[in-house]
């Protein structure tokens, strides 16, 4: 599958007014294609660390830098792309089986991650060679 079919940027509506901003993300096919089962967020990382470095066999993700900025490198074993997340209304949707690295976190980065599945460590692939074997159908 082409990498461009495995990720996309989604822009959410901002219902802000003179009181401030309010960004809404609705699941189940409204703003994002999946039902949100889990939410986590990453903060306190900086530009010296690389997070992620895994692929998920089942889970779809939506990443939003609700504060600050970070970069995400996506890789499908053949192609790579780098996406900078730097707006609270901008989300990066990732299909299952995309290898991802998150890095270059600004000091004020708060990276919100919405997930289509509950946490299950057995659906993570943390070894890149294993990932390549699985996408080539050799595993």
| Residues near ligand TYD (CB under 6 A) | 38, 40, 42, 51-52, 54, 119
The nearest distance, CB 49 to ligand TYD, in angstroms, is 9
| Min CB(26)–ligand TYD separation in Å | 21
Minimum Å gap between C-beta 29 and ligand TYD is 23
Between 51 and 133, CB nearer to ligand TYD: 51
Closer to ligand TYD at the Cβ: 32 or 113?
113
Q: Which residues 6+ apart lie within 8 Å of 81 measured at CB?
A: 3, 7, 73, 74
Return the number of the residue (63 or 135) whose C-beta is nearest ligand TYD: 63
DSSP state of 123: G
Nearest distance from C-beta of residue 132 to ligand TYD, angstroms:
19
Closest CB to ligand TYD among residues 17, 122: 122
CB 96 within 8 A of CB 60: yes
CB under 8 Å to 126, separation ≥6 — which residues? Answer: 53, 54
CA 115 to chain centre: 9
Q: Per the residue annotation, which of 54, 71, 73, 133 is the catalytic one?
A: 54
| Among candidate residues 110, 122, 55, the one with its CA nearest the CA of residue 86 | 110
The answer to whether residue 54 is catalytic is: yes
Environment class of 19 (CB within 10 Å of its CB; exposed 0-12, middle 13-18, buried 19+): exposed
User: Which residues have a catalytic role annotated?
Assistant: 54
């Amino acid at each position: 599958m082409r990498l461009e079919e495995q990720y996309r940027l989604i822009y959410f509506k901002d219902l802000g007014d003179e009181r401030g901003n309010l960004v809404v993300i609705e699941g189940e096919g409204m703003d994002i294609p999946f039902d949100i089962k889990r939410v986590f967020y990453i903060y306190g990382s900086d530009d010296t660390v690389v997070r992620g470095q895994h692929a998920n066999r089942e889970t779809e993700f939506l990443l939003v830098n609700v504060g600050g900025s970070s970069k995400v490198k996506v890789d499908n074993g053949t192609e790579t792309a780098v996406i900078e997340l730097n707006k609270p209304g901008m989300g990066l949707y990732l299909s299952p089986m995309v290898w991802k690295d998150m890095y270059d976190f600004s000091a004020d980065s708060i990276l919100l991650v919405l997930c289509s599945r509950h946490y299950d460590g057995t659906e993570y692939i943390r070894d890149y060679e294993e990932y390549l074997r699985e996408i080539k159908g050799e595993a």
